[in-house]
Amino acid sequence: MSETATFPGDKIASIEEYEAGQNTFDDGDMVRASTVGEKILDKTTRIASIKHPRLLSIPRIGDTVIGPVVAVMSSMIAVSIDYINGKPTTSKVECVCSTRNIRKKNIALANDIVALKIKNHLNGTIHATIDEPHLGVLFTKCRKCGGKVVPMRDAIKCTECSWIDERKLSSNFNNSDFIRLRE
């Protein structure tokens, strides 16, 4: 929690200075928080309010998520979710994605950035799929030398050492705002 984090009942401003805004109440003396959240003191409007945190960002079924591959297993990959439907999230939720049905030697490698779609939640695990054209690897590097790769039909080729490799590429491969955001 940051220093602007509040709990219900916390004093956030004096009513002489600020009016009670969203998620706050006025106890006759102080403006107090009525919810957990982040304190916002608007100096222009003189309104004190609490920004309620977005519910811990657990992706829902059908959401598109983007993040780095954190583990590659024989029939699945684990991905740490950085974006849900294009919005950044800091909750660091992970999901797993079965790669069993994809006929490629390498679907995605550790640290590749992939786009997945959430399929279901089972026993506390979030399952996603990679099996649609826009899903798959958005950003990757050469496995041999770490060089920049370019797509070549279904494969990728390193511009440095010419190593050719497979990935399940997204149709947005190397063509994503997300990559520009990271730079």
Binding site for Zn ion (CB under 5 A): 142, 144-145, 147, 158, 160-161, 163
Side chain identity, residue 133: P
What's the rounded Cα separation, in Å, for the pair 155 and 97? Answer: 20
Q: CB 155 → Zn ion: shortest distance, Å?
A: 13
User: Cα–Cα distances in Å, from 153 out to 81, 107, 160, 163, 180?
Assistant: 28, 15, 18, 15, 23
All residues at 6 or more sequence positions from 20 whose CB lies less than 8 Å from its CB, including other chains:
26, 31, 47, 48, 49
Nearer to Zn ion, 119 or 157 (CB): 157
Nearer to Zn ion, 154 or 160 (CB): 160
Q: CB 51 → Zn ion: shortest distance, Å?
A: 46
Q: CB 169 → Zn ion: shortest distance, Å?
A: 17
Nearer to Zn ion, 91 or 163 (CB): 163
**Quick count: other Cβ atoms within 10 Å of Cβ 176?**
16
Nearer to Zn ion, 150 or 181 (CB): 150
Q: CB 45 → Zn ion: shortest distance, Å?
A: 56
